[in-house]
Amino acid sequence: MISKRAVLRLPLALSLAAGLLGSALAQDKPLKIGVTAGPHAQIFEQVKKLADQQGLKLQIVEFSDYVQPNAALHAGDLDANSYQHKPYLDAQIKDRGYKFAVVANTVNFPIGLYSKKVKKLADLKEGARFGIPNDPTNGGRVLLLLQAQGLVKLKDGAGLKATPLDVVSNPKKLRFVELDAAQLPRSLDDLDASAINTNFAISAGLNPKSDAIVLEAADSPYVNLLVVREADKNKPWVAQLVKVYQSEEIRRFIDTQFKGSVLAGW
């Protein structure tokens, strides 16, 4: 005979069992992580292997531009993304109203200036065609680097949001060609020089440490981020994913694989 107390406990027991079953089922569905091709994808493949050993299943989704990973995260097609620095993220949030949260620093990619026609910036001829990323923050970042190298002078206060319209002094009369960041490596043959983000440079077979004629300082503020939706930031899988990414195993992989051209940002 079942006691009255036992009957009262039954709904609670069933509820707990359902919760445990739901948790187990959730673990069987991989978390989708958006990355750009190149180092971010390579690093997350290692994170995936390490996470799998700890029961956290990941699916890596590669993108070829900077816009879609945030759009996909916002739409719920991704659980997290790893590819952007804070100035770019801040601009995206401001422009598009995304409700995102930064949960960890990942890696830093010092941006480089490349050329197949000159060995140093001083050799650029008057009117040289110079490629820069067409997204608001990376374009400004490159112009600030060119200013630091003495090639241009920007309007006071232009800062990271600078565009070619903010150039007030351009002794070499450089002609800026604004392209999607992923297109810049493929356009290098048609340009006199170009700024190329390290992740895209490496994917194109360029070695930032040996091929760049100028490389941004390693202590630049453009550390990349692991980003999730605001509503998910306190979920247990987020803390577990951060712990795996920021492990010594992943730090060693970054140091060994990229030999100083990609830097751990934690």
pLDDT digits (tens, 9 = 90+) for 38-50: 999 999 999 999 9
Question: Cα dist. 266→43, 84, 109, 118, 223 in Å?
Answer: 14, 15, 13, 35, 9
Q: What is the pLDDT of residue 188?
A: 97
pLDDT digits (tens, 9 = 90+) for 136-163: 789 999 999 999 999 999 999 998 889 9
H or E segment to which residue 176 belongs:
strand 175-179
Q: What is the pLDDT of residue 27?
A: 55
Q: pTM for the whole thing? A: 0.73
Residue 250 and residue 107 in contact, taking contact as beta carbons nearer than 8 Å: no
The DSSP bridge partners found for residue 82 are 35, 226
pLDDT digits (tens, 9 = 90+) for 58-90: 999 999 999 999 999 999 999 999 999 999 999
Q: Tell me, rounded to whole angstroms, the distance of Cα 23 from its chain centroid.
A: 30
| C-alpha to C-alpha distance for 254 and 251, rounded to whole angstroms | 5
pLDDT digits (tens, 9 = 90+) for 207-254: 998 999 999 876 677 899 999 999 999 999 999 999 999 999 999 999
Q: How many CA atoms lie within 13 A of 44 on its CB side?
A: 26
Query: Is the pLDDT score of 116 beyond 90?
Result: yes
